[in-house]
C-alpha cells in the first residue's frame, strides 16, 4: 500500500475527454491522459483493503463483477505510487496479455467492485492500467520476447479476436508453434472491426500484432476456415485446433418491411466504416454514409452507442436509439447492492455527443419497432410502439404507436450465437444457445484435439472475458499437448 491515507486525501480524477463538438470532427481517440504526478495520486487512492473485490471476477446477481482476469490491481497501484513502473508492468502482464486493449474498451468491472466505491468513488483502476502499458511502450519496455525453446507442437487458432489472440500469445510463449487464421483482411476480429477507431485506434492493435509476429506467431488473413480453407487439412496438419470465431450471428427483428433498403446490422455498419477509414480515409465511399440522414438505432447497449458516435461523426441529421427496457435508475437500488455491477443509467460518449449536437438524449426507452415503412422498397419511416414486461412477457401498450422519419435503420440488438458453417466443418456440436458445446468450465469439444474459447464458447460478452477465456483454454491445450502444464 503506497500511502495509507491516500484514499482520504485525494479525490477521484478521471482522464479527460476532448469536448464533444470538437471530437466529432474526426475518428481519433479523444481521451487526454493525466500527468504522471496526477496518476500517482490516483494510484495512492487504492486502499489495499485486505479482500480486493476488484480482482475477484465473480458472478453476482447474474452479472460479472470484479476483473475476470484477476488482475493484481492493488499490487500495480502500489508500484505506480512508488515510481516502480517495471514492477507495475510485470504484475500487470502476469494476468493480462493486452492491457492496451482493455485499458481502452473494458467497462471497468474492477471499479464496480472497488471497496472505495461502496460509500464513495472507486479507484481509477481502468485508467491506471492504461497508464502502465502506454508508459511502458513510451519508455521502450515492450519488446519482442520469443521463446528460447520450441516444443515442436503445432497449434491452429481460428479467429483473431481477443480470445484467439490471448490463446495464441500464451501458447507461443510456452514454446508451441502457433498459426492464426483470420477470415478478414486484417488481424484483430472484434477489436479491429467491431469497435470504432475513436474508441480503439487500430494502430494500437497493429503495434501489438507486429510484436507477436516477431515473437514467432504466424498470422494468415483472408483465410476463411470452413469456406476458403479446408477444415480437414487443418486437422491433419496441426496437433491442436482452437476455435475462437466469436458469436457474430446478429439478432434480427421480424417485422413487416424488414427487407427494405436502408436497414443494416450494426456489425456490418461498423465493419464497413472502419474498413473504409483504414483503406482510404472514406474516399472509396464503401461505407454507410449517414450525412444529412435520419437514423434509427435499435438497441441501447455499447454497440448501439458505437453506431451512434459513428453516425454523428458522418453528420447525421438526427439519431434516435430505441431501447426495449425501462430507463435505469441513476443510483443503485436496494436490490443492486455493492459489490454487484451497478445497473444504473450510463451516459456513454455517443449519447454525450448526441446531447451536445441535438440538445437531447437520443434514447427512447420501453420502445420497439412495430413496422418498417418503405416507399418503392426504400426505407422511409419506422412505426414504433411502447412496450412493458407483464408477468415476464413483452407486451405492447395500447395506443402508443408512433411514426418516426428514418432514412437508415441500424439493428444493434445483440447476437444469437456463432455462425454455424465453421463448427459444422469440424463436426463440432453446438448447444441450444448456438455456442460450442463443452463440459462445464472446460474447453475441449466433442471432436478430439479441437477446443473452443471466447464468445463462440460462452456467448456474446466482454473483451476482458474473452481474453480470460483464451488464457484458460491455452492452459488446457498445453496440458493436452504436453501431458502437464506450468502455465498460470
Mean pLDDT by 10 residues, the chain (488 residues): 86 95 98 96 92 92 92 96 97 98 96 92 97 98 97 98 98 98 97 97 98 98 97 98 96 95 97 98 98 96 96 98 95 91 94 98 97 96 96 93 97 95 97 96 96 97 97 98 94
- Same-domain pairing of 73 and 34: yes
Cell output for 53:
473485490
- Same-domain pairing of 318 and 191: no
- Same-domain pairing of 281 and 387: yes
CA atoms within 13 A on the CB side of 332: 14
Q: Which of 411, 433, 455 is the last residue of a domain?
A: 411
Instruction: Give me the number of domains the chain comprises.
Output: 3
Q: Residue 43: give the domain boundaries.
A: 6-138
Cell output for 329:
435508475
- Same-domain pairing of 404 and 428: no
Name the β-bridge partners of 113.
none
What's the pLDDT score for residue 49?
Answer: 87
In a domain, 356, yes or no: yes
Name the β-bridge partners of 181.
158, 220
What's the pLDDT score for residue 459?
Answer: 95
- Same-domain pairing of 198 and 296: no
Cell output for 123:
479507484
In a domain, 425, yes or no: yes
In a domain, 335, yes or no: yes
- Alpha helix positions (H), 175-326: 202-214, 231-237, 266-280, 302-313
Name the β-bridge partners of 363.
321
- Same-domain pairing of 406 and 427: no
Rounded Cα distance, 486 and 488, in Å = 6
Q: What is the pTM of this model?
A: 0.96
What's the pLDDT score for residue 415?
Answer: 94
Name the β-bridge partners of 76.
none
- Same-domain pairing of 15 and 63: yes
What's the pLDDT score for residue 62?
Answer: 86
Amino acid at each position: 500500500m503506497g500511502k495509507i491515507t491516500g484514499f482520504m486525501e485525494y479525490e477521484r480524477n478521471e482522464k479527460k475527454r476532448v469536448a464533444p463538438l470538437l471530437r466529432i470532427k474526426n475518428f481519433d481517440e479523444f481521451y487526454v491522459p493525466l500527468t504522471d504526478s496526477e496518476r500517482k495520486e490516483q494510484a495512492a487512492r487504492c486502499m489495499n483493503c485486505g479482500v480486493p473485490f476488484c480482482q475477484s471476477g465473480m458472478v453476482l446477481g447474474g452479472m460479472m463483477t470484479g476483473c475476470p482476469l484477476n488482475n493484481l490491481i492493488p499490487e500495480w497501484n502500489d508500484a505506480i505510487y512508488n515510481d516502480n513502473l517495471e514492477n507495475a508492468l510485470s504484475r500487470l502482464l502476469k494476468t493480462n496479455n493486452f492491457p492496451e486493449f482493455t485499458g481502452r474498451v473494458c467497462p471497468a468491472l474492477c471499479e464496480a467492485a472497488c471497496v472505495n466505491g461502496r460509500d464513495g468513488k472507486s479507484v481509477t483502476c481502468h485508467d491506471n492500467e492504461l497508464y502502465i502499458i502506454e508508459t511502458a511502450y513510451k519508455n521502450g519496455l515492450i519488446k519482442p520476447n520469443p521463446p528460447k525453446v520450441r516444443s515442436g507442437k503445432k497449434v491452429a487458432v481460428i479467429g483473431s479476436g481477443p480470445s484467439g489472440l490471448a490463446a495464441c500469445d500464451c501458447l507461443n510463449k510456452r514454446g508451441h508453434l502457433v498459426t492464426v487464421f483470420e477470415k478478414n483482411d486484417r488481424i484483430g476480429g472484434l477489436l479491429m472491426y467491431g469497435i470504432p477507431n475513436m474508441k480503439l485506434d487500430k494502430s494500437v492493435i497493429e503495434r501489438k500484432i507486429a510484436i507477436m509476429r516477431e515473437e514467432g506467431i504466424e498470422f494468415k488473413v483472408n483465410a476463411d476456415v470452413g469456406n476458403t480453407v479446408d477444415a480437414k487439412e487443418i486437422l491433419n496438419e496441426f496437433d491442436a485446433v482452437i476455435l475462437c470465431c466469436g458469436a457474430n450471428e446478429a439478432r434480427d427483428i421480424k417485422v413487416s418491411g424488414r427487407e427494405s433498403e436502408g436497414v443494416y446490422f450494426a456489425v456490418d455498419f461498423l465493419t464497413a466504416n472502419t474498413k473504409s477509414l483504414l483503406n482510404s480515409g472514406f474516399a472509396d465511399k464503401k461505407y454507410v454514409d449517414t450525412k444529412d440522414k435520419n437514423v434509427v438505432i435499435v438497441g441501447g447497449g455499447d454497440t448501439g452507442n458505437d453506431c451512434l458516435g459513428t453516425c454523428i461523426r458522418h453528420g447525421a441529421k438526427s439519431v434516435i436509439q430505441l431501447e426495449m427496457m425501462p430507463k435505469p435508475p441513476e443510483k443503485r437500488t436496494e436490490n443492486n447492492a455493492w459489490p454487484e455491477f451497478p445497473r444504473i443509467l450510463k451516459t456513454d460518449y455517443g449519447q454525450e455527443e448526441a446531447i451536445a449536437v441535438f440538445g437531447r438524449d437520443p434514447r427512447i426507452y420501453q420502445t420497439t419497432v412495430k413496422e418498417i415503412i418503405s416507399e418503392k422498397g426504400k426505407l422511409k419511416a419506422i412505426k414504433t410502439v411502447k412496450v412493458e414486461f407483464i408477468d415476464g412477457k413483452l407486451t405492447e401498450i395500447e395506443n402508443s404507436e408512433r411514426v418516426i422519419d428514418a432514412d437508415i435503420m441500424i439493428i444493434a440488438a445483440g447476437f444469437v450465437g456463432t455462425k454455424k458453417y465453421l463448427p459444422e466443418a469440424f463436426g463440432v456440436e453446438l448447444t441450444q444457445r448456438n455456442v460450442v458445446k463443452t463440459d462445464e468450465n472446460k474447453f475441449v469439444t466433442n471432436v478430439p484435439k479441437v477446443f473452443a474459447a471466447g464468445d463462440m464458447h460462452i456467448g456474446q460478452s466482454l473483451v476482458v472475458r474473452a481474453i480470460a477465456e483464451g488464457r484458460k483454454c491455452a492452459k488446457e491445450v498445453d496440458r493436452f499437448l504436453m501431458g502437464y502444464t506450468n502455465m498460470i
